[in-house]
Amino acid sequence: MNFSEIRARFLAFFQKRGHAVIPSASLVTSDERGITNPTLFNSAGMQPLIPFLLGKPHPLGTRLVDVQKCLRTVDIDDIGDKTHATFFEMLGNWSLGDYFKDEAIRWSYEFLTSKSEVEGDKGLGLDPNRLYVTVFEGDSIAPRDQEAVGIWRKVFKEDKKNNVIGADTDTSKGQAGRIFYMPAKNNWWEAGDNGPCGPDSEMFYDVLNIFGGRPITKEEYLAADEARDVVEVWNDVFMQYEKRDGKIVGELKDKCIDTGAGLERLAMVMQGKDNIYETDLLNSIMALAGPMNSSEKSKQRIISDHMRSAVFLIADGVIPSNSFRGYVLRKLIRRAIFSIRDKTIKKEEIAAFVKIISDTYKDSYDNLEQSSENATEIINNEALQFGKTLKQGLREFEKIASASSESKKISGKDAFILFSTYGFPLEITRELAKERKIEVDERGFEAEFKKHQDLSRSGAEQKFKGGLADANDEMVVRYHTATHLLHQALHDVLGDGVGQKGSNITSERLRFDFSYPTKMTDEQKKKVEEIVNEKIAAALPVDKVVMNREEAEKTGARHFFGEKYGDQISIYFVGNNLNSAYSKEFCGGPHVTNTKDLAGPEGKWLFKIVKEEAVAQGIRRIKAVLSARD
């Protein structure tokens, strides 16, 4: 069964059971959810739905189903094994205060094992005797999940056709069975320090039928899980609690269900493979990354995985940089290149990767094809940039490694130099060091990285203030407001891939830096000018509100991601009110009181872009003035 059929059957199965099909959210998380310290990417299917899992009504009802694209790098060191990937798709069905454990468990089992040919009831037809289940064993936070165990025992017992044995056995006594109690690290789900959480029940499948369908002991299960001989194919999360700032604050008013099934792993099981890289999701990409000998198989997988992730990230508006989301993308591209045998890649080879990835997913994500040319350029530019420093970096690493031969440890400072000066992500330094049996002081590296971020933050605080040279100068204040209009106009014309990178304002001009992969066309610059001048001519009021950070983030006002603004936020907005405002940003001011002030004392000034240029890879700069009409 190909991956498209798995996806289609899943959506149809739950749609027939009253679930509305919703599209995948972007890989990039929204900063408007009102949640402290949001993650950089959606790393689980539930993340885009957190507001609704916390009680906000969803416009499509209380039963939802989707296929959510996800990106997770916390286990990047495991990429290259049988089952891990940084990019993956998660099939999920959701109950928002509707059904709970009984229906969730029964439908999970039914979809996995059903052999029905009736449309909407078609499942995957897996052998239930090769299915093993884990549940939460309980701890000081929450009790043992006896309810889930009872439901599982009934579900197995009621399946008369398959004669599933061992479901009633209490495996905690060391006997063989198929339901195992596991601690919170295995069977407790949460996404960060804030949001819904609770116990879960996971389903594992004996891919190669090594146990022949028999009940097994917990020790056998643990060994098989470690060896990836049994593979997790489904997870039912029972969202009963809410977490804030790392602490459980109580039970949710409406208990919810979050289920997840990794498409890559289901494809592996359905296609009789022992790893995800030989499935139809990745085998074509693997062919481009090879051929390689068996000892290089993990590198072939790293190349395939990281290139796929890079293409998806770029399609969702991320560009390489040395911080936040851009750093993750840069790390993935460079690690892929570093895994290539001669550590180089040609533009036509990059284009081939982009095309095969776009073709594989064209029926589900049309933005991949739309951004294919852009993705090829961005990856190629990053490859060229990395290539310039790679040889020097390898030489520098050899010097550092030789100097570290006695201590057998590379210092955090040296690791950071390799990163900041030579573009080596920590993972590359770690891999090189491992080959020479040398450790890397990763805590020291993180400390150096934090020091770097603190310095960057002090610069960002200047950006937050508008980069003003003199806040008492009338022209400086005018240019500050014009910068806000420019920022929004760039989003209108170029799309939401635009990200502010800095600004500098004097009484003579404004300067605005922003992320964008290509040079603006004359038509785009003209359109931006027209929009700004329209807003000036419209004589829109400029006002501000002050509110706490949580409420401020919910407004959708633009701000620097990840910056610490304090508890009270000033939001300057251009328009009659905050909700309908044309422009709204976190900002310390000052600003004019009406956009007509930007037209000068006699109303004859126009906003003009005098220069647009590149200042760094993927970073553009606009210089603009307010001056008399020609």
- Stretch 287-304: mean pLDDT: 84
- Stretch 360-386: mean pLDDT: 92
- Stretch 181-199: mean pLDDT: 85
Q: Which helix (H) or strand (E) holds 332?
A: helix 324-339
If phi > 0 it is left, if psi is from -120 to 50 it is alpha, else beta; for residue 121 that is alpha
Residue 617 has pLDDT above 70, yes or no: no
Q: What is the pTM of this model?
A: 0.71
Residue 483 has pLDDT above 50, yes or no: yes
- Stretch 596-625: mean pLDDT: 89
- Stretch 384-389: mean pLDDT: 86
Max CA separation in the chain (angstroms): 89
Residue closest to 90 by CA, chosen among 240, 243, 267, 238: 267
pLDDT at 462: 44
Percentage with pLDDT > 70 across the chain: 92
- Stretch 550-559: mean pLDDT: 83
Q: Which helix (H) or strand (E) holds 532?
A: helix 522-537
Residue 497 has pLDDT above 90, yes or no: no
* More confident call, 373 vs 252: 373
Task: Read off the tokens for 421.
Answer: 């000066």
Residue closest to 512 by CA, chosen among 544, 558, 542, 479: 479
Helices 426-435, 412-420: inter-axial angle, 10-degree rounding? 120
- Number of helices (H) and strands (E), helices first, in the chain? 19, 18
CATH number, domain 465-628: 3.30.980.10
- Stretch 147-152: mean pLDDT: 96
- Please give the mean pLDDT across all residues of the chain: 88
409-410 and 439-440 as β-strands: parallel, antiparallel, unpaired?
parallel
Q: CB of 277 within 8 A of CB of 298? A: no
Kindly indicate the confidence band of residue 364, based on its pLDDT and cuts at 50, 70 and 90: very high
Residue 4 has pLDDT above 70, yes or no: yes
Residue 318 has pLDDT above 80, yes or no: yes
* More confident call, 546 vs 291: 546
Strand, helix or coil for residue 571: strand
* More confident call, 595 vs 423: 595
Q: How far apart are CA 57 and CA 325, in angstroms?
A: 30
pLDDT at 565: 56
Residue 625 has pLDDT above 90, yes or no: yes
Q: How far apart are CA 563 and CA 166, in angstroms?
A: 54
CB under 8 Å to 7, separation ≥6 — which residues? 67, 89, 91, 263, 364
Kindly indicate the confidence band of residue 464, based on its pLDDT and cuts at 50, 70 and 90: very low
pLDDT at 285: 96
Other CB atoms closer than 10 Å to residue 628's CB: what's the count? 10
Residues 35-58: tens digit of each pLDDT: 333 578 999 898 899 888 878 899
User: May I ask the CATH class of domain 3-278?
Assistant: alpha beta
Please name the residue ranges forming H helices in 238-323.
263-270, 283-289, 297-315
Residue 453 has pLDDT above 70, yes or no: no
